[in-house]
Amino acid sequence: MAAVTATILLGGSHPNDPSVDPYYLMKLWEGDRAAWTAHSLTDPTFERRVLPKAPETIAVEGARMALGLVREFGLASVTVCAIDGSSILQGIEEMAKVITEVDLHLLTPAGSRTYSRWKDQWHTTGVLA
């Protein structure tokens, strides 16, 4: 079963302050077969999909997809958000090397708390403020 482990917001930015005004949302689906999907936040018919070639290329292929959307639609800001356990955490530095033409914000987990319904227990990693 697939689950979203990372999201990328793509859009405009404020000329003087760090920000993103999102127009597009990318999702990294992981499970049996990883996939990046891109969706417009204003056009419900817009969808693109990239199937990474290997687990080691998931982050870079997502970055290339994001950069393609940046160039195609003249976007100015990209915000990458990964949850604990996402494959892109291993390649987050590579993503930053690919996405160089716009404002870039990389959000990595400081901590997480998840509930396992199978085990009926909470699991906490890192620091939760």
Nearest to 106 by CA among 43, 16, 18: 18
Nearest to 20 by CA among 7, 30, 5: 7
Query: What average pLDDT does the structure give for the chain?
Result: 93
* pLDDT (tens digit per residue) in 50-108: 999 999 999 999 999 999 999 999 999 999 999 998 999 999 999 999 999 999 999 99
Tokens matching residue 46 = 């817009």
- pLDDT at position 14 is 80
Global pTM reads 0.91
The domain segmentation of the chain, as residue ranges, is 3-126
Q: Evaluate whether 108 touches 96 at the Cβ level (below 8 Å).
A: no
